[in-house]
Chains A and B, each alone.
Chain A
Amino acid sequence: MRFIHTADLHLDSPFLGLTAMPTSLWERVHSSTFMAFQKIVDDAINLQVDFVLISGDIYDRDQQSVAAIDFFTQQCERLNKAQIPVYLLYGNHDYHVVHGTDSLPANVYVFGNQVTTTVLTLANHETVAISGFSYDQRWIEEDQVNGYPQKENTVWHIGMLHGAVQQSTANHYAPFTISELVSKNYDYWALGHIHKHQLLATNPPIVYSGNPQGRHKNEPGQHGYYLVESHGKRLVPHFNAVAGIEWSTVNVTAIPAANLTEFERSLSQQIAAKAKKTPFQLIALTIEGSDHLPSAVRHLLANGDMLEHLQTQNKANNNWWIYDLLIHQQSSLPSMTDLDEDYWQEAAKQVFTPVRIAELTKSLAREADLADKLAALDLEQLKQATTQLLRRED
């Protein structure tokens, strides 16, 4: 038996953390979530898998993207034509009160809002039980694993679950523990929700497929799906990358050059040498050793001018795009001739506090969905960034 496990398609959801970008890149970005899933469907058809599992977050409910729903329906229709069943559940982003399969093709089985188990018989007469449930609200704080039945007399039993491992606090997403899952005696756990593909356990495999396409810098590296095949009495997942765009970080060393053009060229060369060739790379460029640069160049690096320039120069580049430029610096505190380090540290304790920041950003927090981001600010990073700002004036 052979099947595909994927999740978190997040069709048509925007890429985060980009600012300006040329049209070609925009098109690439926009189509990437679609293309990734299309590749999965291509593979499913080409590899003649027995079925496809999608563990939630197919699209963002709030996004209300017509294109996403329509595209997904079409792809399911392709699988339908190839007579490949699809088992899907809805996650926290596409939570749904499930009544039937909506307008999806007949090959699609949608798990209801309570844990249900469906059994299918493969061409080779093996039976596969699949258990799962769909979110009917954004947050599910209770452990749902209890609702999953023990494996019984089917040849295979697969659990589908959109959720996160139990944490000490803030368990909004159907929290579970690995031992709980293991105790069900299933042959495979197809998890969704976490966007980084990973195996939480190998026997049985408890697997996050990750999202097929990373959508911001915190989703770097390869993204794809798991092709799961039976090896004897075991199900073995194999990761296949499909993402057309990869988020990555490239570190380059600032080499003082005769002029600005030279300097930029050396940066581009280093990126070309260090960046992965495929797929298309969205690069956060980190420049080291900028301390040795002339202050004018440092200034251009700091105020974004250099980034803009590099972006313009590499606009037609079909392999990568620099979306951010970071300057790696010694994070020593500012030095003041007549102020002790102690004064700064003491002051920092008063300044870099959530309360103080909340007070400062009181008016901003009301705007543009910033409240969460502001609340989530890392104080140490802020201090670091501010230090860099102050050190610029040294």
Chain B
Amino acid sequence: MKIKKAHIDGFGKWHDQDFDFTANPQIIYGPNEAGKTTLMAFLVSILFGFADGRGKNRFAQYIPKDTSSYGGSLLVEVNDQDYLIKRQRGRNGGKVTITDSQGHQGGEQELEKLIGTMNRSLYQALFSFGQRDLAAIDEINREDWQQYLQQLGAVGSAQWDQLIDQYQKDADRLYKPRGRKWPLNQDLHHYADLTDKINHARGKFQRYQDLQADLKSNQKILQQARTELKHQKPVLQQLEHLRQLWSVYHKWRNNQQTSTTGDYLTDQQVITVQELQAKEKEIQRQQENYQQRLTVIDDSHAQPPHQTVQSIQALQRLKERAVELQAEQALQQRQQTRINNWQHELTTIKDRYHHPLPAPLDSRAKSELTQLLNTNSVSRTNDNQLSGDLSRASMFGIVGGFVLFIIGLLVNVPFITALGAIMAFATVMYLYYQRQGSHKNSTTIKDNLPAINAFGQKYGLQDFPPTQWLMMQGDLQRAVELVSQIKTAMQDQQRYNHQLAAFFQQLPSALQKLPLSSVKAKLDDLLEQRQQARQNIQANTREKATIASNLARLNQAYDKVYRQKMILYQQAGVHDDQQFTRYLAQRAAAQSQALASDAYGQQLTAADRQALSRYANKDELMSSFADIQKQIDQLSLTITKAQEKVQQDKVEITSLVEDGTLSNLEQERANLASKIWHEVQEWLHYQLAVEWINKALAGASADRYPAIIRQAEKYFALLTNHRYTKINLTVDGIKVIRADHEAFLVEELSQGTAEQLYISLRLGFVTVMSDQANFPIIIDDGFVNFDNVRRQRMLALLEKIAVKNQVIYFTANERIKELGIKIIDLQALNHE
């Protein structure tokens, strides 16, 4: 590239200024403050962009203070083509336009095509140097050169550098050793996380093993407890059995202890005693019977025998008397009937007159009255008729009574006899009274009032009508008769009653209440009884004698039995039956105990007894039972708990087994590992690609190296007037060989010579690389340490260099003007 012209619109102190770089080398003169540095900065800025406003670059921006326009243009020639590069105020280094000779306009990209990989810093490092750079000669080393060489793109550099950039970016986008956000970094981070999780999940394995161990131990516990339980259960059953047997055993044992005391009578003896007792009782019973019999007999002899005899006679008399009385009683009864009839008649008469009846008139009074009344009665026939009827009935009564009386005698029934007698008597009496009554009835009434009345008064008939007076005389007469008859009959009756009462008093008291009719029969009975009794007494006397002999015999027998019994009682240690009864009860109890004991004994096996014998009492047994029960309960509890634990363990184990977390994590991590490995490989491929390209390029570049050195040696020889012939650029630094083969390190050279060496290397490099990167060489006010000779040589060298590269040389040395070559005088331009 060659800069032909420059036009500054505004840049630092320059504005609207044109420069023509026609000469080569183009020397630009300007003293301090003339704008040399500004112009240099302008050239670089148009090519590579304005400096941005950051940091110290602020001062490299050169924004003009007195004009608004900033920037300018360069007319450059590249590969024989002219381009106008114009750069103005704008972002990112300013707005650039590039116009080729045909007038095609382009921007940044077209500019890039012209300048390739060159950038401001590389350009300044390689193509532009000033006094400061010369002083840095000792900092040059092989690697930097290598770097420069490569950067320059020794071979096809542009394309490969882009690729390197691209790959580096690609690699960096995957992974940076200290990055965080890049995919591989993140994946690695994730991988570490997963590993943590997996390790955590693997912790479950320990848990699993613990659980398995726990399960095993619990199963063992369970089994032990079950075995133990299996052993204990029969023990408990045995104890339960013993517990149930205890009461039996207890009784059996007690029986065992008590049954030894007391010898009882044998059954035979007891039977004998019981027989004796029975005999004794029998004897006693017999004795009692006899005694009773005696008592009965004695009782039956309570009345002395003579009394009985007397009584018989008395009874005989009473009996006779009763027969008499009975006969009279029949008469009395008929008499009574008559009384009744009479009383009835009387009553009828009384009723007929309503007033107390006066006494009947005597025959004189009657005749008086008849006169008074002169009337007669017609009632006489009636009375006669009545009389006839009555007599017929009386006949029947007498005959019937007689017949009855005879029958009664015949059959020896006093009642009938008496009845017959009474009937006959009564009939006779009736007939008698009847005849009396008929006579009294025929009365006459008279009627002669005053006399009558007086008469009435006199005889008490005033209450009755006088007509009746005569007629009623019959009735009155009859009434008097009746009263009299009744009285008589009553007296008779009374007498009879007295007799009867006297009779009854003689009767034995038992018979006193009986009616008379039955008394006789009773008396007969009594008589018979009395006779019987007399016979009995005789029999009893005989019987008593017999009984007495029997009793005597029985007493003997009893004594014998009693003695026998007492012998046995003595043996039994008792004294009487009561005691013996108690003794028997005891003996029976003892026997039943013995029996029970046997029964209990049968319920207990020998083993049971032996087992039970270990226990003094039920409490001991029960406490053993309780102990075992407790143990069994404990075991059951243990089993339940162990079962629960086993179950829990199993459940948890199952959950661990089924927990796919670990597998998932493992596979996830395996997958991630694959991904990571892919990424690592990809990254590695990028990195290796970068390295490979670099190395390949370095290899290719390395060929330039000797050329550069050779070129530099030539220049160095030229500048030092062949004082030095060789340059060695090593990793350690630069060595130079003098013509006399003496080697010097850079540090050993004089400042001027060192600067000459530096310039030689730089220019050598630029020269050799000019086919790759051909840019104007800008040298700023250098060579202050050069004397004129050296400066001459230097300029001569620049002339030489200028054949291939444009050289723009800025200097403040006025003497440059004296050389008579075409220069641009900035001072002059400033003065324009």
Contacts and interface: CB of A to CB of B under 8 A. Distances in A.
Interface in B656-678: 656-660, 662-664, 666-667, 669-671, 673-678
A19 B681 CA distance: 14
Closest 3 CB pairs of A and B: A347-B695, A64-B205, A14-B670
B663 A67 contact: yes
A339 B192 CA distance: 44
Contact of A364 (B175, B660, B669): B175
Interface of A: 12-21, 26, 29-30, 63-67, 69-71, 103, 336-340, 342-344, 346-348, 350-352, 356-357, 360-364, 367-370, 373-374, 377, 382-383, 385-386, 389-390, 393
Contact of B696 (A17, A71, A344, A360): A344
B699 interface: yes
B680 A13 contact: no
Given A16-B674, A347-B695, A348-B692, A66 B216 contact: no
B507 interface: no
B685 interface: yes
B696 A67 contact: no
- Interface size class for chain B? 35 or more
B688 interface: yes
A169 B656 CA distance: 42
Contacts of B686: 389
Contacts of A344: 692, 696
Contact of B663 (A12, A70, A103, A363): A12
B684 interface: yes
A66 B208 contact: yes
A389 B685 contact: yes
A348 B689 CA distance: 10
Contacts, number: 165
B671 A65 contact: no
Interface stretch (B155-163, B363-371, B464-472, B562-570): B155-163
Nearest to A16: B670
B793 interface: no
A362 B683 CA distance: 13
Contacts of B178: 363
B212 interface: yes
B674 A17 contact: yes
Given A12-B663, A17-B674, A18-B671, A66 B656 contact: yes
A371 B204 CA distance: 28
Interface string B680-706: 110111111101111111111000000
B188 interface: yes
B667 A26 contact: yes
A339 B688 contact: no
B191 interface: yes
B671 A20 contact: yes
Contacts of B698: 347
A215 to B, nearest CB: 9
B304 interface: no
Nearest to B171: A360
B653 interface: yes
A352 B688 contact: yes
B700 A340 contact: yes
A382 B685 contact: yes
A12 B204 CA distance: 15
A302 to B, nearest CB: 10
Contacts of A67: 657-660, 662-663
B163 to A, nearest CB: 6
B696 A361 contact: no
A336 B204 contact: no
Contacts of A63: 202, 662, 666
Given A356-B691, A370-B680, A21 B699 contact: no
B687 A360 contact: yes
Contacts of A18: 667, 670-671, 674
14 contacts: A12-B662, A12-B663, A66-B657, A70-B208, A336-B160, A339-B156, A346-B699, A351-B692, A351-B695, A368-B187, A368-B676, A382-B685, A382-B688, A386-B692
